[in-house]
Amino acid sequence: MSFQSSNLYIRRLEYRTLNIRPPLTTIFTMAMAFKMATTGMWVTEECKSSFMEMKWKKVHRFIVFKIDEGSRLVTVDKVGGPGEGYDELAASLPDDDCRYAVFDFDFVTVDNCRKSKIFFIAWSPTASRIRAKMLYATSKDGLRRVLDGIHYEVQATDPTEMGFDVIKDRAK
């Protein structure tokens, strides 16, 4: 148990023994700390705010995340503007290292309705190191919990597994 999570645990016990209700922000902070403490990774505020901008304001078309192994933080690697498409996302994923990505896929249904679905892509190419693959695989669920509102998940080891046709078929 890390210092931060043990400190929050003690604070939670203090509220319980005093029989008072903690403020809502404290409850949220404690819940998020325990979620991420189980994976051993921490998600930066930049990741959360960039995702919310993509989801609600449509400022970004995609976001690529990476794990900094030294600090054990999930950080934003690249952000795609609203004019960029799926080809730019695929080009921004490295051939020899793992990444996470979220992609906002806009499409028109058969009933002529405009819809938008958010895809979570776990990119783990075969040329990447085994340690990196294990780190990204174990941290994936923690990041997905923080990024609320993801509709579909795609796990890919080569570009054909995450082609535009795969995304289009999953969305419909």
| Residue listed under structure tokens 């679905």 | 117
What distance in Å separates the CA atoms of residue 150 and residue 85, rounded to the nearest whole number?
A: 18
pLDDT digits (tens, 9 = 90+) for 131-152: 999 999 999 999 999 999 999 9
CATH 3.40.20.10 in the chain, residues? 42-171
Q: What is the model's pLDDT at position 35?
A: 47
- 165: tokens are 């046709």
pLDDT digits (tens, 9 = 90+) for 35-93: 454 457 899 999 999 999 999 999 999 999 999 988 889 999 999 999 999 999 999 99
Which class for 119: exposed (0-12), middle (13-18), buried (19 or more C-beta within 10 A)? buried
Q: Residue 171, Cβ neighbours under 10 Å: how many?
A: 16
What distance in Å separates the CA atoms of residue 29 and residue 169, rounded to the nearest whole number?
A: 38
Q: Residue 74, Cβ neighbours under 10 Å: how many?
A: 26
* Nearest CA-CA partner of 103 in 154, 43, 141: 154
Q: Residue 55, Cβ neighbours under 10 Å: how many?
A: 18
* 103: amino acid identity, one letter: F
Identify any residues that bridge with 156 across adjacent strands, giving them in sequence order: 123
Q: What is the model's pLDDT at position 25?
A: 47
- CATH architecture of the domain 42-171 equals 3-Layer(aba) Sandwich (3.40)
Q: What is the pTM of this model?
A: 0.76
Question: What is the mean predicted confidence (pLDDT) over 15-35?
Answer: 50
